[in-house]
Amino acid sequence: MFRRPALRLALGGYLGHNWELYAMWAWLGVFLDASFRIDPGGDRAAFWAGIASFAAIGVGGLVGCVVGGKLADRFGRTAITIGAMSISGVCAAMIGILFGGHPGILACLCVVWGVAIVADSAQFSAAIAELSDPRLIGTMLTVQTCLGFLLTLVTIHLMPYAVTALGWRWAFSFLVIGPVLGVWSMARLRRHPEALRLAQGRR
Q: Which residue has the higher pLDDT, 100 or 156?
A: 156
Every domain of the chain and the residues it spans: 9-36+53-194
- According to DSSP H, which parts of 37-176 are helical? 45-54, 60-75, 77-94, 103-119, 121-131, 137-166, 168-171
Q: Identify the pLDDT of residue 81.
A: 92
Condensed to tens digits (0 to 9), the pLDDT of residues 53-81 reads 999 998 878 888 888 888 888 888 888 99
Across residues 76-99, what is the average pLDDT? Answer: 93
What's the topology of domain 9-36+53-194?
Answer: Growth Hormone; Chain: A; (1.20.1250)
Q: Which residue has the higher pLDDT, 2 or 192?
A: 192
199 pLDDT band, cuts 50/70/90, is low
Q: Note the Cα 3 to chain centre separation in Å.
A: 26
Record the pTM. 0.90
